[in-house]
Amino acid sequence: MFFKKKLTGSIVALITPMDLKGNIDKISLKKLVNFHIKSKTTAIVVVGTTGESATLRHDEYIDIIKMTIDFADERIPIIAGISVSSTSKAIFLSRKIENSGVIASLSLTPFYNKPSQDGLYQHFKIISENTSLSQILYNVPSRTGCDLLPETVASLSKIDNIIGIKEATGDLSRVYQIKEMVNDNFVLFSGDDLTALSFMQLGGDGVISVTSNIAAAQMVKMCNLALIGKFDDAYLLNKKLMSLHMKLFIEPNPAPIKWACYRTGLILSDFVRLPIMQLMESNKKIIEESLNIAGIFLKK
């Protein structure tokens, strides 16, 4: 592992660029990686929810991780999403990628099964016992149907290779609850751009961001200001991004952010795989207006 510092600040939940036939667009992927390196994004999460992991074949999942690592060339840390509903599959994928060059997995709570808190604890504990890969827990009840409660997070934080959590409930009380029960090395990332600044003001370490796909430098600056306590300055910057934070979820993620990246020339196509649909024509103007408010230039 080449990256030794504690992860803080703005981490991007990277989109997976695709061509008009739905194949992985390597040219755009390389461009995105370089964009985030230039913008000083802290780290890249690949093949997560925003990366359409649910629609990727197994071979594509592995290929995208390898390509991203190659394009990054140790200039930025790479974290791989693990979004499966069974413990055995999570172990299988963790072992597949543990020596690939990723610094950690972003490990989603099992969806559909609705496990108990003890089931969630055992799930992550057994994964940790079967791989050397560090885990960042990922709690997003709106998508998975289960909620990883603070007490369970605290118990899991005692396991050496469970290093943090992406908390995407939007419930700001979770920051205080979790911080009271974990040590200072356990990282807390917001998974909700809309409340990320408040999350950091309450003691969070940063955000794993959708908005960062299109406003990388702005998100980096906002997070850096927040982390040194300059919240008034961070607020003014974040105010320009608030419309984006909201409107990028006007339709199911990642359709809006993919269209925004296409509209600004970052990627060659806004293709998304079914069952997600490409952004409706009626919503494109809304996204354009939000990009303009944020000061992001549109492709002519």
- Which positions are annotated as active-site residues? 138, 166
CA distance 177 to 179: 6
Phi-psi region of 249 (alpha: psi -120 to 50; beta: other; left: phi over 0): alpha
Residues at the annotated binding site for pyruvate?
A: 50, 208
Tokens of 132: 């050397």
CA distance 101 to 92: 17
> Do the bridges between strand 162-167 and strand 187-190 make them parallel or antiparallel, or are there none, so unpaired?
parallel
CA distance 114 to 128: 20
Residues at the annotated binding site?
A: 50, 208
CB atoms within 10 A of CB 11: 30
Nearest to 106 by CA among 170, 59, 167: 167
Residues in contact with 239: Cβ distance below 8 Å, sequence separation at least 6, in sequence order:
none
Contact 46, 64 (CB under 8 A): yes
What SS3 class is residue 296?
coil
Contact 202, 172 (CB under 8 A): yes
Q: Which residue has the tokens 């979004």?
A: 83
Q: Which residue has the tokens 């982390």?
A: 227
